[in-house]
Chain A
Amino acid sequence: MAQLGGACLILALAVCAYGIGASIYGVRTGRAEFSESGRRSVYALAGILTVAFAVLELAFLRNDFSFNTVADTSSATTPTFYKAAAVWSSQEGSLLLWAWLLSLWSTLVLFLTRKRMRDVSAYATAILLGFGGFFIALMVFYATPFATTDPAPAEGVGLDPLLRHPSMMIHPPMLYSGYTLCIVPLAFGMGALLARKVDAEWIKATRRFAMAAWLFLGIGIMLGARWSYSELGWGGYWGWDAVENASLMPWLTATAFIHSLMIQEKRGMLKVWNVSLVLATGTLAIMGTFLVRSGILSSIHAFGGQTLGVPFVILIGVLILSSIYLVSSRRDMLRSEHRLDSLLSRESIFLANNIVLVGLCFVIFWGTYFPLISEALTGHEASVGPPWFDRYTVPLALILVLLSGIGPVIAWRRATLANARRNFVVPLSFALVTLAVLLATGVADSKPLALAMFCCAAFVLGSVGQEYWRGVRVRRAIAGEPAPLALLALVKRNRRRYGGYVVHIGIAVLFVGVAASSSFQHASELSLSPGQSTKVGAYTVRYVRPTASVTPKYDPVHTGSTLSLGAVLDVTKRGKHVTSLTPAEDFYDSGEPAQGSVAHLIGGQPVSQVGMDGGIKRDIWSAIAPDIDTPRLKRIIEIGNKTIPLVRPDEGMIAIAVMAREYMRSPPPAEFHLIVSPLVMWIWIGGAIVACGALIALWPAPSTVRARVSVRARSRAARRLARA
């Protein structure tokens, strides 16, 4: 089957080359049949890559270790759930996933635009196939997922234990969907510039794809944060890591684009800005993939086994240069059709929000690539840490949240000061009441930035709440509907507006969680023996007893660990039991027999299993690092290595069981990391609200399926409009 997969890749590359040629020939000569053939090449590419992906997925599920990728990233003992996800844990598999997702999204957008924007979509087809061709060429010439070894090894290395987490099943496909969806507006933006048709039509055609890219990237980022919080054992959800930043940057520019495109749609303004944002978002998406896959910057999330740096650098260089050339050579066409009517208008707020978002992106870009920049300039690789990022991003985030509350209460085009003053009464009251309550209770006395964020978030809630209230009131006055029906009808008829407002609420809730959990966190790292206790914030944590479990490798319900050592912790507050936590550390087979017949069974990378009690008010988080280097435990391993042959892993597991029993009998002190963080759950709830709002805004409005009106009907409408 590897041969079929390899043939698919070569066929796919040929289809890309043909499709690019046919599309460009078709649009240049006006021969629509060639453009149509080029478009169909994308459909064919999606079909071929679906077959290729199915071949690789089947190889993983069937434990076909003749595939090098399967042998390197899976094993017979890897649970089936994780085998399916192991495809994208490898360099080669993730490249295939990227190309496959891009082909699917490209097919969808080209199918939806098949009767519109023929010139633009022909160029866009060529560009999309160009990106597809690039990734397929990487697989054909650098990192093929279908390379085989004969004879096949009896067993594979297994999936990286860090990736054995449910969110890892969804996180990479979400992130890659986001990255690949970012390419769709980029291709249409470039297509519009090449075809010299820079009106609002290409924006209209790709707006949903930009929003979907934003949504998928957002979900991917949140899942990554959740994985980091519950799997990496350091207790945080965001560490300003290079790969985390790489996914955040296109999300920020996409957020800016989603706002500013409305100004182009409505006013024919900001054409240069919008097309530049689209090109920047697409380029940042490619740079995000490059960071994960090239290994150029050290990151806990980087999974690049070998360097693909040079081809990516060439692609990014071509993208940047061609973007600059296209925008500058078409600048006459990109002139704004109107000017801002008033500084007090929603357009102005959107502009301010764009500047803040792009500013945030620039700060993160600088901090992320600083190691490369410093190495290039001084020869020494220096990096900046979270405090540097916090110094610049926190004030910008505050302004952003505040603007997300101001925008909804300001009208398009122009707003009078008197109206604006009236509209600000409720949101400002919310903010002031919050400020008064927090100052009175002394909760946020020493944390002015957190206090400011809580007030800004209250301002947003007041502003959006007022908008919903007034909208429902208007709807009730017009249609005489009861409030719940009026609310539904209001949202249904204005999905973009009210879906967007829900997103603003989600962002405010999320930032409240971030501000509270980072400002009011209590953490402790210490060594405890059974029976000892410590204070973390208002809680007392007592190490009650150790736990140990031996899991045979072939147990399919577990993550595949051989040994798990942990603890039972009793958490009390003012003498009352609050919860029990059971953190553990899982040990995995290293797959390296040279370590010894017993030692290799637990010689892999240990992975923390966090013990956590999460709630709406606070999370109590714990991780353990048990000491297995005690003389007694080491002695058991040494004896096992000497007496048990490598071919008897079952006997090796008996030695591991003896070791676990010894650990239980006389447990050594263990290192604990204990954290009490308020409102962490608000981050996940905020993220879910954002996703719901985005779905509401994305959902097709009834007007888009409206039947085409006749000329006569349009004339009637024109007369009515003129009279009105």
Chain B
Amino acid sequence: MSVLAAMLTLMLLAAVMAVVSRPLLIARKPDESYTPKRSELEAEREAKYREIRDAELDYRTGKLSQEDYEAVNGALRAEAVEILNKLESSERDRVGEEDQAAEEDRATDPAK
């Protein structure tokens, strides 16, 4: 292997090592706002909002009768409320857990 190729390979290897090992060497604070459940609920919420908008557009463009629209819209909004409530309770649970953890911290270390 030529000297230039060897040097370039070593530089590449060093860069790869730096990129790949960074999370293992530098402990990052985890993103506390992330919970799989909330992320899933947020996806559901977006889909439901889109469905509400679509139903309204279907009604306004004459594809849904007044009666059908009211039934569909009511059902969709109830489902959306359910999702938002779940989101809210998951958020409350998370904040509660954080407060509890902070209190436990203070109890074990009053200096905090």
Task: Find out whether the CB atom of B72 lies under 8 angstroms from the CB atom of A33.
Answer: no
Task: Find out whether the CB atom of B8 lies under 8 angstroms from the CB atom of A4.
Answer: yes
Task: Find out whether the CB atom of B27 lies under 8 angstroms from the CB atom of A33.
Answer: yes
The answer to the question of B1 belonging to the interface, with a C-beta cut-off of 8 Å to chain A, is yes
Q: Which residue of chain B has its CB nearest to the CB of A265?
A: B47
**How far apart sit A414 and B69, CA to CA, in the bound complex (Å)?**
9
Query: For residue B55, which residues in chain A have a CB less than 8 angstroms away from its CB?
Result: 411-413
Query: For residue A721, which residues in chain B have a CB less than 8 angstroms away from its CB?
Result: 77, 80-81, 84
From A18, A411, A422, A714, contact of B58 by CB (8 A) = A411
Minimum CB–CB distance for B13 against chain A, Å: 6
Q: Which residue of chain B has its CB nearest to the CB of A408?
A: B63
Chain A positions 483 through 498: 1 when the CB is less than 8 Å from some CB of chain B, otherwise 0: 0000000000010010
Task: Find out whether the CB atom of B36 lies under 8 angstroms from the CB atom of A119.
Answer: yes
The answer to the question of A465 belonging to the interface, with a C-beta cut-off of 8 Å to chain B, is no
From A15, A18, A714, contact of B84 by CB (8 A) = A714
From B47, B68, B78, contact of A416 by CB (8 A) = B68
Task: Find out whether the CB atom of B23 lies under 8 angstroms from the CB atom of A36.
Answer: yes
From B20, B60, B68, B81, contact of A415 by CB (8 A) = B68
From B2, B20, B63, contact of A423 by CB (8 A) = B63
The answer to the question of A722 belonging to the interface, with a C-beta cut-off of 8 Å to chain B, is yes
Query: For residue B72, which residues in chain A have a CB less than 8 angstroms away from its CB?
Result: 412-414
Minimum CB–CB distance for A720 against chain B, Å: 9
- Number of residues on chain B facing chain A (CB within 8 A): 57
From B9, B46, B57, B78, contact of A4 by CB (8 A) = B9
Task: Find out whether the CB atom of B12 lies under 8 angstroms from the CB atom of A8.
Answer: yes
Task: Find out whether the CB atom of A33 lies under 8 angstroms from the CB atom of B23.
Answer: yes
Q: Which residue of chain B has its CB nearest to the CB of A37?
A: B23
Known contacts being A33-B23, A204-B47, is A418 close to B39, with CB within 8 Å?
Answer: no
The answer to the question of A134 belonging to the interface, with a C-beta cut-off of 8 Å to chain B, is no
Task: Find out whether the CB atom of B39 lies under 8 angstroms from the CB atom of A116.
Answer: yes
**How far apart sit A412 and B50, CA to CA, in the bound complex (Å)?**
12
Minimum CB–CB distance for A344 against chain B, Å: 11
The answer to the question of A32 belonging to the interface, with a C-beta cut-off of 8 Å to chain B, is yes
Mark out the residues of chain B between 9 and 40 whose CB falls within 8 Å of any chain A CB in the assembled complex: 9, 12-13, 15-16, 19-24, 27-28, 30-31, 34, 36, 39-40
Mark out the residues of chain A between 447 and 476 whose CB falls within 8 Å of any chain B CB in the assembled complex: 467, 470-471, 474
From B16, B46, B50, B81, contact of A15 by CB (8 A) = B16
Task: Find out whether the CB atom of A47 lies under 8 angstroms from the CB atom of B39.
Answer: no
The answer to the question of A718 belonging to the interface, with a C-beta cut-off of 8 Å to chain B, is yes
Query: For residue A15, which residues in chain B have a CB less than 8 angstroms away from its CB?
Result: 16, 20
**How far apart sit A415 and B22, CA to CA, in the bound complex (Å)?**
56
Task: Find out whether the CB atom of B36 lies under 8 angstroms from the CB atom of A418.
Answer: no
Query: For residue A47, which residues in chain B have a CB less than 8 angstroms away from its CB?
Result: 12, 15-16, 19
**How far apart sit A24 and B46, CA to CA, in the bound complex (Å)?**
30
Task: Find out whether the CB atom of B12 lies under 8 angstroms from the CB atom of A48.
Answer: yes
Query: For residue A494, which residues in chain B have a CB less than 8 angstroms away from its CB?
Result: 53, 57
Query: For residue B49, which residues in chain A have a CB less than 8 angstroms away from its CB?
Result: 703
Chain A interface mostly helix, strand, loop or mixed? Answer: helix
Query: For residue A714, which residues in chain B have a CB less than 8 angstroms away from its CB?
Result: 84, 87-88, 91
Q: Which residue of chain A has its CB nearest to the CB of B80?
A: A721
Task: Find out whether the CB atom of B63 lies under 8 angstroms from the CB atom of A197.
Answer: no
Mark out the residues of chain B between 80 and 108 whose CB falls within 8 Å of any chain A CB in the assembled complex: 80-81, 84-85, 87-88, 91-92
**How far apart sit A473 and B95, CA to CA, in the bound complex (Å)?**
47
Task: Find out whether the CB atom of B20 lies under 8 angstroms from the CB atom of A703.
Answer: no
Query: For residue A48, which residues in chain B have a CB less than 8 angstroms away from its CB?
Result: 12, 16
The answer to the question of A619 belonging to the interface, with a C-beta cut-off of 8 Å to chain B, is no
Chain B positions 56 through 80: 1 when the CB is less than 8 Å from some CB of chain A, otherwise 0: 0111111111011000110001101
**How far apart sit A22 and B24, CA to CA, in the bound complex (Å)?**
11
Task: Find out whether the CB atom of A115 lies under 8 angstroms from the CB atom of B34.
Answer: yes
Task: Find out whether the CB atom of A51 lies under 8 angstroms from the CB atom of B23.
Answer: no
Mark out the residues of chain A between 102 and 128 whose CB falls within 8 Å of any chain B CB in the assembled complex: 115-119
The answer to the question of A199 belonging to the interface, with a C-beta cut-off of 8 Å to chain B, is yes
Task: Find out whether the CB atom of A471 lies under 8 angstroms from the CB atom of B61.
Answer: yes
**How far apart sit A419 and B72, CA to CA, in the bound complex (Å)?**
15
Query: For residue B92, which residues in chain A have a CB less than 8 angstroms away from its CB?
Result: 711
Q: Which residue of chain B has its CB nearest to the CB of A420?
A: B63
Task: Find out whether the CB atom of B64 lies under 8 angstroms from the CB atom of A471.
Answer: no
Mark out the residues of chain A between 84 and 99 whose CB falls within 8 Å of any chain B CB in the assembled complex: none
Q: Which residue of chain A has its CB nearest to the CB of B82?
A: A718
Minimum CB–CB distance for A486 against chain B, Å: 13
Task: Find out whether the CB atom of A715 lies under 8 angstroms from the CB atom of B20.
Answer: no
13 A-B contacts (beta carbon < 8 Å): A7-B9, A33-B27, A200-B43, A204-B43, A204-B47, A266-B54, A414-B68, A470-B60, A474-B61, A714-B88, A718-B88, A721-B80, A722-B77
Chain A residues engaging chain B, CB cutoff 8 angstroms: 1, 3-4, 7-8, 11, 15, 18-19, 22, 32-34, 36-37, 40-41, 43-44, 47-48, 51, 115-119, 197, 199-201, 204, 265-266, 409-416, 418-419, 422-423, 467, 470-471, 474, 494, 497, 703, 711, 714-715, 717-718, 721-722, 724
Closest 9 CB pairs of A and B: A36-B23, A411-B63, A718-B84, A411-B58, A470-B61, A201-B43, A3-B5, A7-B9, A474-B60
Since A4-B9, A411-B55 are in contact, a sample of 5 more A-B pairs with Cβ atoms closer than 8 Å, ordered by chain A residue number, is: A7-B9, A199-B40, A410-B63, A497-B57, A711-B91
